[in-house]
Amino acid sequence: MALISIESSEDFAVVRLNNGLTNALSPELIGEMSQVISLVRKHSRGVVLAGGEKFFSIGFDIPGLLKLDRPCMSEFFHNFNQLVLNILTLPIPTVASVKAHAVAGGSILMFACDYRIAASGKVLVGLNGIKLGVPIPYLADLILRQIVGDQLACEMLYRGEFVDSLYARKKGIVHHVFPKPEVETNSLELVTKIADLPSKAFASAKANRVELIAERYERNFKARNEDFLDCWFSPQAQELLKEATKKF
């Protein structure tokens, strides 16, 4: 079974994570998704990024990734960040359609989109890396600070707490909250509305928005990604990560 599916709605693409209940981000899923993003870049006017009914995504596939040595984990981590950068810099509108929990790496994929629409109720978002002994990836840190500002970003990154969708809407972490059955319909309506604007002007405006993030990441990512890997392979983080596998 494909780990990523593409559902077409006229000339828009619904890119759906399809990796079981949790939609954990494995090397295989990241590889498939990277190919899909390259495809929709060429053939779609807009993208809705969707997940499942229980999880948009739980984040990294920790049980699988703990089996990797440093070179293989480094390759995965680089590929994940490149995927996030590719989504961030797509010259077409993107909407994250979050009907269920989007935590850790799931939140990072959500942040890479232009708009974020979440379901009401007990839908959690957030970045808990600090509790697992690892920092939030450098690229995600840059994106988050642009979205919510330095003060709230520090609160999220330093404490590692999950928050519900209504709180996320209040704080500007997500743009809109709808009842769960209405989330994807509203996501498609929004991406259609934005895509109906002059495409070249939109692409230029978006390039202006993401330029500094992309340039700063490209300038510093090698050292910052090594810092993340140093933490990942530290004895303390390895113990915390092993404990986290019980939730998978």
Per-residue confidence (pLDDT) for residue 193, from 0 to 100: 96
Residue 61's pLDDT band (cuts 50, 70, 90): very high
Per-residue confidence (pLDDT) for residue 9, from 0 to 100: 72
Residues 6+ apart with CB under 8 A from 74: 225, 229
The tens digit of pLDDT for each residue in 80-116 reads 999 999 999 999 999 999 999 999 999 999 999 999 9
Residue 241 has pLDDT above 60, yes or no: yes
Backbone angles phi, psi at 120, to 5 degrees: -75, 170
Per-residue confidence (pLDDT) for residue 234, from 0 to 100: 98
Exposed/middle/buried for 42, CB within 10 Å: 0-12, 13-18, 19+?
Answer: exposed
3-class secondary structure, 119? strand
Per-residue confidence (pLDDT) for residue 8, from 0 to 100: 80
The neighbouring-strand residues paired with 164 are 124
Per-residue confidence (pLDDT) for residue 1, from 0 to 100: 54
Instruction: Kindly tell me the sign of the dihedral angle through the C-alpha atoms of 70, 78, 96, 219.
Output: positive
Q: Where are the domains of the chain?
A: 4-195
- CATH code of the domain made up of 4-195: 3.90.226.10
Mean pLDDT of 198-220: 97
Mean pLDDT of 61-70: 98
Cα–Cα distance for residue pair 157/36, rounded to 1 Å: 30
